[in-house]
Amino acid sequence: MQRTKPISSAHTFLSQHLISSIPLNSAQSRHERVARPMKQEPNSGFINRRSLMNAAISLLGAMSLKGILQATTGAKIEEKSQETRAREAQGNMNAQDRIEPSWLARQVGFQLAHEQFPVPELVDLGIAADQAGFDLLAVSDHFQPWQANEGHSGQAWVTMSAIGQRTKRIRMGTTVTCPTFRYNPGVVAEGFASLSLLYPGRIFLGIGSGEALNEEAAVGSWPKWPERSERLVEAAEIIRKLWSGQQIDHSGKYYKVNARLYDPPSKPIPLMMAGNGPKAMHRCGRYADGLITDPKTWKEHKAEFQKGTAGAGKDLAHMPVFIEQYVVVGGKKEAEEAAELWRFGPKAWKPYFNIRDPKTIQERADTEVPLEKVTEGWPVGTDPEVHVKVLSDLFNSGATGVHIHSGQHDQRRVIEFYGEEVLPRLRKITAKAA
């Protein structure tokens, strides 16, 4: 009689399972089946191979292949299927139609300008804005300030995390992060996924094609706009793929990423895109979850955003639109104070965004841009109705979010004024409209 190798624990499990799983016919009882186990030589620790094969054939006749696999691997298959289902659900999580409806409600935000204030002060201002009733914080993300006289450039994600720890309600996001040069898109995906795990439902990501003062200054590279725009679109694709939590193998025109984000976001993160001209507005409509822009661009090129949205088969009603509106709470003195620091604004995208040095931008703005040009369209004063009208007009034009930006030194005055005088009036108007 040929003998098999000694029985291992796995062989023992299989033989026991095969014995107990042989089906009974009408003439058999369970007692009879158990009474006739597979033949094994006494005290040998060996099993008869023919008996084992016969039992296996009987089992195959009674069970499907799936049944055998489930029986022999048990919970491991179930665990794998649960993980697969979870990954599939995660993969669909950041689709446009999964953006939470609350992001589409009218929201008033407050701009935290890293160019103008140090991080500790910005954290305090963010907390004050939350307490005053603002809905969100729009956070600039710069490596250098626009103008040298602004004086600061702290790290935006650090500020957001610190504010999140000391608040419970207010939403936060960047306006905007460039995910193509000084930040790799994979690192951006990881950073904002982590922020969203800390503050679920409170984080959005705004991205843009960048400025030379941030990107060229940090990495020495600053290609023409068509390449920068293509890089932005590809970066957005990578970020979304990584947020799915699945292993990705991306080999694109500009980036190669072979990785998995092991801590993906638990809730959808709106991926907003900045547009400041007709081509950029069309791109935002086509590739982003929503738009970040300024009042002038929105008025002049809104149709391009709509065309991009329609071309991608998306519903405009499901896309947030955030608009940055400069304001001054005070008089001529405060307005001029703010305009001196943000003087580059009217020429930010033609041509200052191509200049690497903040000192050069400041010098050119001082000679090329009159102060009265800077303050065009700004509500200036302490009459709340003046401010309410400007914001209401933007909401009525299609904006879902308006974040106010004041360049004046006294930021708390702005926060308190809006919290006490402007926000309550706006909410009454919104309630009546509903």
Active-site positions? 142, 211
- What gap in Å lies between CA 286 and CA 282, rounded to an integer? 6
The partner residues of 137 in beta bridges, in order of sequence, read: 110, 172
- What gap in Å lies between CA 85 and CA 83, rounded to an integer? 5
Assigned token pair, 16: 């026991």
Assigned token pair, 392: 């209401």
Place of tokens 């003062």: 213
- What gap in Å lies between CA 179 and CA 239, rounded to an integer? 9
